[in-house]
Amino acid sequence: MFFCVPSRSSEPNTRAIATGPYARVLDRLGLAICEGRPAPGAVLFIDDLAEQYGASRPVIREVLRVLSSMGLVETRRRVGICIRPPEHWNVFDPQVIRWRLASGERMGQLRSLTELRAAVEPQAAALAAARATPPEASDLIALAARMWAAGKAGDEATFLRLDIEFHAQVLMSSRNEMFAKLQQLVAEVLTGRHHYHLMPHFPQAEALQWHAEVAQAIQRGDGDQARSAMVQIMEQALSEMKSMWEHANEGSGTAQAGGVVDPRTTSVVGSGGWSDQPSSTAATPSRPRSSAGSRIVVSVGVSTCAVGWSLQPTTDRSVGISRPRSRAAP
């Protein structure tokens, strides 16, 4: 069975740029599998892949070996290389996360990652309050202050880098080795939201304030307050995601009209959340509200932004499938 996977050169890529035929084939084939092109259960042949991607058989074999280690493919005796269903994938692998974020399944991936963060990071913050060393606590205070400065200046790249460092430091300071291993996962979801333009230009003051409160509570050794402030960050992120999922499922609004919203003119808040206007004063932290006011504006902004983002033009996704040919399995 021969699968023609279209080129993805015009689509954004969150991965660090890698060169060479191995990296190119791995990226294209991995992304295609995560998009369901070809579908689970389909059989791949090394000769077909070598011809399709213009790569040598040794390169294709190495790519398939790596994909097998990620759980995306498996070798079946007398059958060949088969695509495995998503439930067998190593969903914690950073490359698999990137491919899923770049695919049509990005909303589900963002939801899963955000729910995992909400379950882990508040407890990590509480543990960090009890276990962080004085230098680590001081580093968190400094990171929160630099995040505030970068946010006020509208420096998105610097803010993203500092936000990733902040959450990684909290996870590592928990002294729980399993929590610490999740820092790459958190980096991927924050980078993915930034890369796909879910964050307009200026951060919301309350998001900055909550990060500062987490750092200050850890420095004081106040586990309850550290957990509470991190819960507020996570609840806000979950609220954003919920609006995105609902509007993506509805397929209504701007997306239905064929428009693409520029998120830089849309209010968004959250962990590293952004607003289209700079804030001159720190907001008093509060839980998400459903009453009329600024919170309603935030929800609408996030939803519209997400719909526009998920429908950006892409290359042709058609898949050419020829009839199966008689061939010995590799």
For position 19, what pLDDT does the model report?
A: 60
pTM over 0.75: no
pLDDT in tens, 174-226: 999 999 999 999 998 888 877 776 665 677 788 899 999 999 999 999 999 99
Percent pLDDT > 90 in the chain is 51
pLDDT in tens, 4-52: 443 333 333 434 444 688 999 999 999 999 999 989 999 999 999 999 9
- Which one has a higher pLDDT value, 101 or 194? 101
For position 192, what pLDDT does the model report?
A: 82
Strand partners, 5: none
Q: Give the chain's domains with CATH numbers.
A: 3-93 (1.10.10.10), 106-310 (1.20.120.530)
Examine the pLDDT at 93 and tell me if it is beyond 80: yes
- Helix (H) and strand (E) counts for the chain? 12, 7
pLDDT in tens, 228-272: 999 999 988 887 777 666 666 665 444 333 333 333 333 333 343
Top mean pLDDT of 96-100, 129-133, 196-200, 301-305 is at 129-133
pLDDT band, residue 91 (cuts 50/70/90): very high
∠220-182-124 over CA atoms, to 5°?
25
pLDDT band, residue 148 (cuts 50/70/90): very high
For position 199, what pLDDT does the model report?
A: 64
CB atoms within 10 A of CB 251: 11
What secondary structure does DSSP assign to 157-175, as a single string? Answer: HHHHHHHHHHHHHHHHHTT
Residue 175, Ramachandran bin (φ over 0: left; ψ between -120 and 50: alpha; else beta):
left
For position 247, what pLDDT does the model report?
A: 65
Computed over every residue of the chain, the mean pLDDT equals 75
